[in-house]
A and B are shown apart, each in its own frame.
Chain A
C-alpha cells in the first residue's frame, strides 16, 4: 500500500452567518493517491468546485471551512497563512475553467510564469528565463521565445489554458487541482489539453484532482471518481467499476442521461426534476424527491457511504435494487 498523497476528512463548507448559513459541501472525505487522477463529477451546485477551493482555502469571507485536509502530514486548514502560501501554488497548484480571467491581461506571459518561479524556487534570474522556455515547451507552445513576450489576449483559448498550466507547473507541484479545465474549450482542443495533463502526470509523477461535469472526460482521463450531489459524495470508486455498475440511483440516472451509440432516438433514462438549491435541501437523502427507488427511509434518514467492493462505495439504502434495475450501459 502506498501512502496517501492528500487526505480530506469531514470537509464541510458553509456560506453566510449563523442562522442563515447554507452548506455547500457537507461532510465529505476522500483520498488522493500519488500519481492518481481523481475525478470529482457532479452537476452545477453539487459543491465540486467549492471542494477544490476549500482545500486551497481560496474561500471568500463569510464562509467557514471545517474538517481536515492532510497534505504530507500537515493540515492545510489549520496551517498559518505564511506556511500555506508556500504550499499553495508551490507543492499544490490549481488551474481554472476560464484562463481568460485567471491570467493577468496587462502582463506578458513571461512575467506571469516568472512570478511563480520567483515565489517557489531559488533559481537565478537567468535560470528562471531558461526554465520559462522549458515550461512553454513542456506544455506544447512552439516558438516559445517570442510567445513569452506576448500578452494573454494574443493567445487562443486553448493556448491560454496551456499558459495557465505552464504557470501551475513552474513550481513542479506534487498535486494539480484542475477545476473544469476544458469546459470552455472545443472538442479537439479539450482532447489536446486532457492528454497533455495525463502526459505531465506521468512525467512529473504528480497527482491530479479533476473537477468536471462531463462524464466523457471522466471516462477518458480519471483513475478513480467521486460523484457529488447536493454537497455530498454519493458514490466513489475506480472509474471502470462505477461506469460498469453504478450503485447509487443518482449515478445510474446520470450515466443513463448521456446518449450512447446503439440507442439512437430512443428515450434516455433521464432523472425527473432538477438538482436542489442550497437553500432547500430535502431531508433524508438529498436525492429522494427525484429518485424512483426512494422509500420512507430515504425521506427521513441520510445514507452514509458504504463499502461495496474494490474500493467502490455508495451512499444509498437501495444499492441492490439499483443494481438489479440495470442501466443503459450494462
Chain B
C-alpha cells in the first residue's frame, strides 16, 4: 500500500516549457516557397515533481512524454520556459555544476539493448559512471560495484560479463545499477519496462518500488501502460499533443477523471476482468498532426463534448486542490 506522503517539497519544476523540432526545409521546399515547419512536441508544459514521490507521465505516442523526460535531464534544451532543479534553472548550469546536476538527476532508457555499450563489461560500465563523477577513490570502486550488483539483485559474477550475455530484464537492471551508481536523487525512467515480457516486467517494477523505499528516490515514470503507471505512481500527469491535460493524485485521477481525453484513454484500456466488457468505442478519430496543431483546445477534433469556446480558446490547467484539468467544460 502507498506510503503516506508527508513531505511536499518541490524538487524539479517544469515551467511553461515548449520544444519544437524543425522539419527538413530543403531546396525544393524553399523554391516552392513552403514556409518552414516543425513538429511541436511540447506546447507549454508546467508541472512540479515533489521530493520522494513517483510522478507518472502517461499518454499515447507523439504526446511529448519522452521529449519531456529528456528535457528534465537536459538531453534536450527547452525552446522557451525552464526546468528548475532546487532553485537553479538547469539551462544555466555549466562545467562542474552541470556534472553535479547530471549525477543528481539520472535517466534510465527504454531499450536495454542499445543503452549499454556492447564492448564494455558490466564492471567497466559501472566504473565509467563512478569515475566520471568521481564518486569514489579508485580503490573503493570494486566494493561499490559489488554493492550495486547486490542492490539490483544481480549475481556478483555479472561484473565480468558483457551486456549480450544477459536477458532483457537483467540488462534493464544493469541500466538501473548504472543510474544508481552516482547516488542520484531523481530517476527519470522512460518506458522502463515496455520492451520486456510481462512476467519480467513485474520483477523490474517490484525492484524499482523497493529501491525507491530503500534509497528515498524521487521517480519520474514515463510510460504508455496505464495499469503500470497506476500501480507505481503517487501522482499522474496525462499528456496529449504536448500539453498536460490533467494532473492529480493517482487514485483521484483514475477513479474520477475530469478531462474528456483522460476519460477516453481510461475507457480504451482493456479491462482485465472478462466479465466487465463493453462494445462501445472509447474515442473516435485519431491524433492530429503535431505539425499543424488545432486551434483552441488540442483535443477538440476528437472530443465528444466540444463546444464553441473549445475551438477558440486553449484551456489552461485549473481546478481546486491538487487535481487539475485543462478543460472548458464546467465541473
Contact = CB atoms under 8 A, between A and B. Distances in A.
Interface string B202-214: 1101100110000
Contacts of A239: 274
Nearest to A253: B199
A270 B2 contact: no
A125 B134 CA distance: 74
Given A186-B60, A265-B231, A265-B232, A254 B270 contact: no
Nearest to A269: B202
Nearest to B282: A191
A259 interface: yes
Nearest to B280: A195
B1 A264 contact: yes
Contacts of A268: 202, 205-206, 231
Which of A218, A260, A270 has the largest number of chain B CB atoms within 10 A? A270
B286 A270 contact: no
7 contacts: A156-B287, A188-B283, A189-B286, A216-B271, A243-B273, A264-B2, A265-B209
Contacts of A290: 199
A32 B162 CA distance: 45
Contact of A258 (B2, B198, B232, B286): B198
Nearest to A192: B281
Contacts of A269: 202
A329 B272 contact: yes
A191 B281 contact: yes
Interface of A: 43-44, 156, 158-159, 186-192, 194-195, 198-199, 213-222, 239-240, 243, 253-254, 256-261, 263-272, 274-275, 290, 329
Contact of A259 (B200, B205, B282): B205
Contacts of B250: 264
A175 B170 CA distance: 40
Interface string B267-289: 11111111101011111101100
Which of B199, B267, B281, B284 has the largest number of chain A CB atoms within 10 A? B199
A157 to B, nearest CB: 9
A269 to B, nearest CB: 7
B158 interface: no
Contacts of A261: 230, 254
Interface string B32-55: 000000000000000000000000
Given A222-B274, A257-B202, A270-B206, 10 more contacts: A188-B282, A188-B283, A190-B270, A191-B270, A216-B270, A218-B274, A240-B274, A254-B199, A258-B227, A266-B1
Contact of A267 (B198, B209, B271, B274): B209
A161 to B, nearest CB: 11
Contact of B199 (A186, A187, A260, A275): A275
Given A195-B279, A261-B230, A186 B209 contact: no
Contacts of B286: 156, 158-159, 189
B156 interface: no
Interface string B1-30: 111000000000000000000000000000
B198 to A, nearest CB: 5
Contacts of A257: 198-199, 201-202
Nearest to B205: A268
A329 B251 CA distance: 19
B265 interface: yes
Contacts of B283: 188, 191-192
